[in-house]
Structure 1
Amino acid sequence: MTPLLKGTVVLVQKNSLHFNAHSAAQKFGGFIESVIDAPDDIDDSILDTVDSFLSNSVALRLISASNSNENGQGKVGKQTFLEGVLTSIPTLEDKQTAFNILFEWDHNMGIPGAFYIENFKQDEFFLVSLTLEDVPKHGNLNFVCNSWVYNVEKYKTDRIFFTNKTYIPNETPFPLVYYIHEELKTLRGDGTGERQVWERIYDYDVYNDLGEPDKDDTLARPTLGGSSTLPYPRRGRTGRKPTEKDPKSESRSGYFYIPRDELLGHVESSDFLVDVFKLVSQNVIPQIRSVDQPEFNTFEDVLSLFYGESSNFSVPKVIQVDHSAWMTDEEFAREMIAGVNPNVIEKLSEFPPESKVDRQLYGDNTTTITKEQLEANMDGVNVEQAIQNNRLYILDHYDSLFPFLRKINATGAKAYATRTILFLQDDGTLKPLAIELSIPHPKGDIFGPVSKVYLPATEGVEASIWLLAKAYVVVNDSCYHQLISHWLHTHAVVEPFIIATKRHLSVVHPIHKLLLPHYRNTMNINAGARNTLISAAGIIESTYLLGKYTMEMSAVVYKDWVFTQAGLPTDLIKRGVAVEDPSSPYGLRLLIEDYPYAVDGLEIWAAIKSWVEEYVNFYYKSDATIVHDSQLQAFWKEVVEVGHGDLKNATWWFKMQTRAELIEACSILIWIASTLHASVNFGQYPYGGYIVNRPTKSRRFMPEEGSPEYEELAKDYEKAYLSTITPKNETLLNMTVMEVLSTHVSDEQYLGHRIEGDLWTSDSQPIEAYKRFGSKLAEIEKKLIERNNDETLRNRYGPVKMPYTILYPSSEAGLTFRGIPNSISI
C-alpha cells in the first residue's frame, strides 16, 4: 500500500470576501459620506458553500525537491483532491477555511519542494497555504502561497507553489531548477497583448495613460518616460489599445490591469482605498464642481468644517491645541524639519545661493536678497560667520518651478518661484530671515525674473504681507511635497523594483523574501493613482497649483533623482544638514541638532540596515556569491536598464558586485517603501487638513501698495488671505483625499511584522534576526516617546503643541499621525 502524506490546505472563497467599497468609504465620515448613498449589501444567498470545494473541484500534485525523473526534473506525484473540512484549527483567520488532503507519496519520491494546483471551479479562490505533516526524514513542510487561483482554463501553464525554503540559485535543489525557471518565464510574459484580470504577468511601460485625448483635446498629456526630455520610472504594462487621436497614448478604460496577486482582495480593507479614490473621482469631484460653494471669508469659516454643527471632518492636529499658532514664524520654519515635507531644506553653503536654471533660456536668476536684509535679523551675526558656523539654511523652491511659471500663470494661477532663507538660533529653532518671490519678466524669459524680497514683520499691513509671503512659499512646498517627495520619490521610483523582482527573483530567493513585504499593495495603489489622482483633470491637477503641468514637472525633477543618495544618512549629508563624523552615532553629526525627522529617522535607518546586513550575510558568504547569483544580477540589470532605463547611463548606480552594495541597495529600498513614505504621507491631513496652514494653490499675486487688493489686505487680512489661497471647492476635495491618504487601514502590516508570521522562511537564524529587528523597533518607539516629552527640544512640538510622532513604528487603525507600514500601501 502506498504511504500517505497528510496535508492541510487553507483558502478563502471569493464570495466570502465580499466587501462593500461604499460602506468602506463611510468609515471616513467626511465629505464622501455626504455625497454618496451606500447601496444595499449583496445578498448572502450568493455566497458559495464550503461543500462546493469537496466535489473534485480542487486538485493538487506534489513535486519532489530531491528526486528527479529522466529529464532531471523533480518527480510529480498523483493528483489528489481536497477532502473534509477542518474546524479544529484555532489560528484560522476570519473567512478562511481549512481542508484535509491526503497525498500518495512513497520513499522513491523524496521530499516535496513544490506542488501544482488546479481549480476546476468557475470562481477563483485565494490560496493561503499548504502544510504537510510528518514528511519522512524531514518533519512538517510549509508552503506559504497567498495567491489567487483561477479556473484551469485561464492559465497557459500550471499554477505552481514552492515551499518556504530559501535558496540562492547555486544552492537550489536541481530537481526544482526547471520549475523555478518556468515559473519566472510565466511571470515575465511575452510583452504582447492586453492583460486580463486573472493574469500574473509583470512587464514595463511608460506613463502614456494619464491623458484622454479622445474625450477632449484639453485632456491630452505628454508621455513620461522613454525620452531624455521627460524621463520617468516605468509602470506596470497593461497593454490597452492606443487612443485614436494619439497612437503613442494608451486608452483609458474602467479596468486597470494589475498582476492579480498585487490586488489584495483577500483582506478586509486594503483595496477599498482604491475604491474610495474611484468614488471621489466619479461622485465627489462632479458634486463639488456642480455646486457653487460660497468662499471662506474668515478663518472661523474654515474652522466650522471641524467644529460647526454640520461638521464632517476630523480636527487636524495642527489646530487641536491652538487655532492660530500655525501663523507664527517658528511654526512656519519648524514644519520644514518636522512637518509633512521635512527632507527638502538645505544648508546654505555660499551666498548668494547658486541657481541651476539655464541662463541662456531664462536669463540671470541670481537672488536679489542682500546680506544687509538678512543681517538685520541675525542677532548680531554676519552672513560670513553664519555660513562658517552652519547657521544659514534655505528652502529653495526656485529652480524646479521657475521654468514652468509662465505656463502655470497663464492658466489662471498666480504663482511665484520662491527662496526662503532661515537662521539657526541659539535655542535650536529656525527663524525665517527673508522670502524672495520671483516671476518671469513681462518682456520675455531671457530678461530673467522680476523679484521682490519680503522681510518678517509683526504689525500692521506689513505683517499681513509677510503672512502672504509665507503662504506662497507653502503653496510651492505643498506642490513639491505631493508631486515629488511623495509621489515621485516613493510611489513611482519603487514600482520598477517590484516588477523586476517578480520577473527575475524566484519566490525561494532570499532577496525576494526580504523585499516582498515592502511591495505590498504598491502596484495597486499606483494604478489607482493613475486612474484618479494624477490623471488629466484628476484630483491632483484639480486641487494643486501646477494643474495640467503637474506630472510634466515631476519628470523634469526625476532627471536629478539618485537612488544611491535616497538613504537617510547620504541624503542628510547631500543637503548639507549633516557632516560625516566617525565618532558620532550613525557616522554623522546633525548640524540642526533638534531635527525631528532626521533624529528619529536615523534610529529607524540604523535598525533597517542592521537587519538587512545580518540577513544578507547569512545567505551570501562572500562577494563572489553576489557576482555569481544569476537571478540577482538579472534583477539588478533590469532595474537599471529598463525599470529606470532613462537614467541607465548614470554613473552612480551600484554595480552589484559586493555584499556591501547589496546591503545598501536593499536598505535604501526598504527605507523608501517604509519610513520615507510614512514620513511624507501620514502627516498630510494632520498638517494640511487645515488649508490655511498648508494651502495648495495661489490665485492672486501679492498686492501692490495703492491697489484695491492692498486696501482689502489692510482692512481684512483674513478675507484677503483666503481669497489668495485654495478656494473652498478645491479645499473640500483636497481635505477628503488627504484624510483618506493619512488613514491606516485595519489590516495594515507595520515595519518589523510579516503577514506570514514565522513561516516566511524555514531558516531559523533569519527568523530570529527579524524578531530582533521587531524588538529593536519597539525599543526605538519608547525612546521617541521619551524624546517628545523633553520640553527643551522645541522643534519636536512647536507652538502648535503637536509632538512629532509620525515615525513611531506602530499604530492602530485610523487617523493616528504615527505608524510605519512595511510598504507604500496608500
Structure 2
Amino acid sequence: MLFFICRWGTFVEGGPHCVDMSSVTALGPNFSYMQYVQAHWQEDAFFGYQCLNGCNPLCIRQIHNLSSNLSVTSEMVRPFLPEDSSLEQEMERGHVYLLDYEVLDQLPANTVNDKQTYLAAPLCLLHYNRQGELKPIAIQLQQAPGPQNPVFLPSDSAPDWLLAKMWVRNSDFQVHQLLSHFLRTHLIGEVCCTATLRQLPEIHPLHQLLMPHIRSTLQINIQARVTLLATKGVFDKSIACGLEAIPLLLARGTQRLRYSSLCVPDDIRVRGLEALPICYYAQDALRVWDALHRFVAGWIRLYYCNDEDVQHDCELQNWIGEIFTQGFLGLSHIGVPQSFQTAAEMCKFVTMVIFSCSALHAAVNFSQLDYNLWIPNSPAAMSRPPSQTKGSVSEEDIFSFLPEVNSSCHVLSVLSLLSQPAIDFVPLCHYNEWYFSSGATVNLVEGVRRELKMIAKDIADRNSQLELPYPYLSPDHIENSVTI
C-alpha cells in the first residue's frame, strides 16, 4: 500500500523501469517518519516526545499531587528520578506529568473480524529529566487500583514494560480520533457553522469573518457520519471503539470539555507545558493563536466601538446563546460563554473557533499518518485483554496483541486519505471573498499574513536543526478550514 503519488523513471535503457526519484527525501514525510518511528517506537524518550508533539498533544498535563486511584509510591519510582531528589520534590518542581484515559473506563470494546477486542483506561506517570527528556516512569492499565491491576515500571521485564506502553498508545488512539480530532475540531466547527447560518445574516461582520473557516464542516461531517462512523465503516470494522462505544465516548468527552482547554494560552498554562523546551506544539500553537487573536481583535474594532455595542447586538447574542445550548448542551461547568458582555470575550471565543477549525485540525489530523503508519506504535485495537499480573507475557507474545493485517490496512487507508491536503488548499488567513480585499480589512489581512509568514520561517529554521521536525503548525501547512 503506497501513501504518495509516484511516477516511473528509467535507470538504464532496456532494464526494468524504476521510481522517478533521485533522493530518499522525495519519498515524502510519511515514509521518512515511519522509518524513524519504526526505529524508535520502543524507546521511553520517544514515547514521551509523542505525548508532546505527536498527533495528540492535548492529553498530557503537569501534576503536583498523585490521584488516589494511582497506586504509585515514591519508593516505587525512586530509581527513575535524580538521585538527590524524590517524587514529591519533582512534582513540586513541576517535572511530573500525567496521562489519564479515565474517559475510556468501562467502555464496551468492539468485535473486529468476529473476534473480541479490548480497551484499557490507563494512567501513565511521566518525568521530565535533567537531560531534557520526558519519559514514562509508571503505568497502571485500569482506573481502579487492586492486586489484578499492577503498576508497570521501566525496571520490569522488557515485554511487560513495552506492552504497557502499547496499551497507553492504543488508548491514546481512541481518544485522539474521537475527542481530540472529531469532537474538538470537526464538531465544534459544525456547531458554529450551523449557528452562523441560522443566526447571523450574510452581511453581519462575524458571518463574513467566520464563514471561510467553518463552511466546509457541514459537508465533511455529514460524510463522516454516513461512512467512517456508520455500519461497515472503519470504526465498525477495525477500531476498538466501535459503534456501541462511539456515542458513549463522545458524550463523556463533551461532559469533560472545558472552555479553558479550547483556548490555547489557558490550556498551555493549565497543563504546565510552557516551560518545556521540547514541546514544539505548545510553542507553535501559542504563536499562531496570538497572531489570530490580534487579527480578530482588529476585525472586531472595525465594527464595535465599545462593549455596549457588543451587548446590544441581538444577532450576536442569539448566536453565542445557541452555540451554548446546542453545541455545549447548556452545561455551565464547561465555561463557554452564554452571552458576550465585552468585546474581549467575543474576541477570545472567535479566535478559539478559527484556531480549532484551522491550526488545531492541522496539528491533530495531518500528523496522524506519520505516527500511526507503524502499527505497533499506535494500534487501533488490541486482540488480547490487558495483563493483570507481571511476567505473564514474553517477547514472542507482544505481537499477538496487535490487530490483524486486514483491519490495520483498512485503518491506514482511511488515515492516508485524511492526511492528504485538499486539492484546492487555502492557507491560513488567505481569503477569496471580496470584503477581505477592500477598505480597512485589507491592512488587517496583510498584517496577519506577514506575521504568519514570519512564524513559518522561524519554524522552518528550527525544524532544520531537528532530527524529527514538527511542521504541523507552520502556517503554510495550516488550511483555512476543515476540508477533510
When the two structures are superposed, what TM-score results if normalisation uses the length of structure 2? 0.88
- For the aligned residues, what is the CA RMSD? 2.8
Structure 2 SS opposite 1:433: strand
Paired residue type of 1:731? S
Matched, 1:732 2:413: no
Q: Corresponding residue for 2:91?
A: 387
Aligned to 1:822: 480
1:87-166 map, 5 Å:
none
Cα deviation, residue 760, structure 1: 2.5
Secondary structure of the structure 2 residue equivalent to 1:417: coil
- For 1:267-306, list aligned pairs within 5 A: none
Aligned partner (choices 118, 121, 130) of residue 426 of structure 1? 130
Give the structure 2 partner of residue 764 of structure 1.
439
Aligned pair count?
Answer: 460
CA distance in 2, matches of 1:449, 1:495: 45
Distance 1:401 1:614, change over 3 A: same
User: Which residue of structure 2 lines up, in the alignment, with residue 404 of structure 1?
Assistant: 107
- Contact 1:421/1:435 (CA < 8 Å) preserved in 2? yes
Residues 725-766 of structure 1: CA distance to partner in whole angstroms, max 9, x if unpaired? 22211110011000111110220111021133xx23464221
Amino acid at match of 2:263: G
* Contact 2:104–2:119 under 8 Å retained in 1: no
Give 1:438 shift: 2.2
Q: C-alpha distance in 1, partners of 2:364/2:187?
A: 14
Alignment of structure 1 residues 622-771 onto 2, 5 Å: 622-647=306-331, 652-702=336-386, 710=393, 713-714=394-395, 716=396, 720-756=397-433, 759-761=434-436, 763-771=438-446
1:325 and 2:40 equivalent? yes
* In structure 2, C-alpha distance between the alignment counterparts of 1:371 and 1:760, rounded to whole Å: 61
Q: Which AA in structure 1 matches 2:282? A: A
User: CA distance change for structure 1 residues 389 and 752 in 2, over 3 Å: closer, same or farther?
Assistant: same
Instruction: State the partner residue of 1:454.
Output: 152
Correspondence for 1:782: 457
Which letter maps to 1:328?
Answer: E
Q: Structure 1 pair 314/426, CA: closer, same or farther in 2 (3 Å)?
A: closer
Letter matched to residue 458 of structure 2: K
Q: Secondary structure at the match of 2:197?
A: helix
* Partner residue in 2 for 1:350: 65
Q: Deviations over 1:185-225 (max 9, x none)?
A: xxxxxxxxxxxxxxxxxxxxxxxxxxxxxxxxxxxxxxxxx
**Displacement, 1:651?**
5.5
Instruction: Report Cα offsets for 1:646-673 as digits up to 9, x if no partner.
Output: 5368664253121111111111111111
Cα distance change, pair 367–406 in 1 and its aligned pair in 2 (3 A): farther
Can you list the C-alpha shifts for 1:416-464, whole angstroms capped at 9, x where unaligned? 22111111111322011111122779xxxxxx7831111114xxx9112
2:268 aligned with 1:572:
yes
The answer as to 2:468 corresponding to 1:802 is yes
The CA distance in 1 between the partners of 2:32 and 2:181, in whole Å, is: 20
The equivalences for 1:526-675 within 5 A come to: 526-547=221-242, 548-575=244-271, 577-578=272-273, 590-647=274-331, 652-675=336-359
Once residues 809 and 391 of structure 1 are traced to their aligned partners in structure 2, the CA distance between those partners, rounded to angstroms, is 30
Q: Report if the CA contact (8 A) 1:341-1:680 is conserved.
A: yes
Q: Aligned partners of 1:747, 1:320: CA distance in 2, in Å? A: 30
Highest Rg: 1 or 2?
1
C-alpha distance in 2, partners of 1:724/1:785? 39
CA distances 1:56-95 after superposition (whole Å, capped 9, x unpaired): xxxxxxxxxxxxxxxxxxxxxxxxxxxxxxxxxxxxxxxx
Assess if the C-alpha contact under 8 Å between 1:408 and 1:546 holds in 2.
Answer: no
Shift of 1:628: 1.7
Higher relative contact order (CA 8 A, sep 6+): 2
Question: Counterpart in 1 of 2:203?
Answer: 508
Task: Determine the structure 2 residue equivalent to 1:79.
Answer: none
- CA distance 1:738–1:660, change in 2 (3 Å): same
CA distance in 2, matches of 1:665, 1:511: 12
Distance 1:566 1:386, change over 3 A: same
Contact 1:316 / 1:690 at 8 angstroms: preserved in 2? no
Asked whether the equivalents of residues 170 and 379 of structure 2 are also in contact (C-alpha less than 8 Å), the reply is yes
* Deviation beyond 4 Å, 4+ runs, structure 1: 26-30, 312-315, 405-411, 648-652, 702-707
CA contact (8 A) 2:324 2:337 kept: yes
User: Shift of residue 598 of structure 1?
Assistant: 0.1
For structure 2, list consecutive stretches of 5 or more residues without a partner in the other structure: 7-26
SS of residue paired to 1:546: coil
Aligned residue type for 1:820: I
Contact 1:688/1:694 (8 A) holds in 2: yes
From the superposition, tell whether residues 650 and 607 of structure 1 become closer, same or farther in structure 2 (CA, over 3 Å): closer
CA distance in 1 between partners of 2:143 and 2:444 (Å): 55
**Deviation by residue 1:362-405 (Cα, 9 ceiling, x = unmatched):** xxxx12222211112102220111011001101111x2122326
Is the Cα–Cα contact under 8 Å of residues 316 and 687 in structure 1 kept in the other structure? no
1:519 partnered with 2:214: yes
Amino acid at match of 1:611: F
Higher strand share: 1
Which residue is equivalent to 2:75? 372
* Cα offset, 1:644, TM superposition: 3.3
Q: Deviations over 1:699-718 (max 9, x none)?
A: 113567899x73xx24x3xx
- Per residue, is there more helix in 1 or in 2? 2
